[in-house]
Amino acid sequence: MIKFDCSKCGRSYRVSDQYAGKRVRCRECGIVNTIPAAKREPVGCGDSVTAYNNLLLELSKFEKQAPSLEIDS
Ligand SMILES: [Zn+2]
């Protein structure tokens, strides 16, 4: 779970980790915020590089989009 505040109006949102790095439009003031990455414990090498590459690939798909949040906070 990631918690962040709108950079303009300060409204708090809590979103699931899958929203990390994505852009969402604030439901209160309408500006676009970039959701910060979730804080994670350091992990061993393992699949982290693959996971990171997959994340970058996923982010590139959403780069030009700014979907509205569909959640209740
Ligand atoms: Zn706002």
Domains, the chain: 2-62 (2.20.28)
- Which residues have CB less than 5 Å away from ligand 1 (the ion)? 6, 8-9, 11, 26, 28-29
Ligand 1 center–CA 13 separation, angstroms: 10
> What is the pLDDT confidence band of residue 50, given thresholds at 50, 70 and 90?
confident
Name the pTM for this structure.
Answer: 0.50
Ligand 1 center–CA 5 separation, angstroms: 8
Ligand 1 center–CA 52 separation, angstroms: 29
Question: Is pLDDT above 60 for 45?
Answer: no
pLDDT per residue over 53-65, tens digit each? 888 888 887 666 6
pLDDT of residue 58: 83
| Residue listed under structure tokens 């969402």 | 24
> What is the mean pLDDT of the segment spanning 32-53?
77
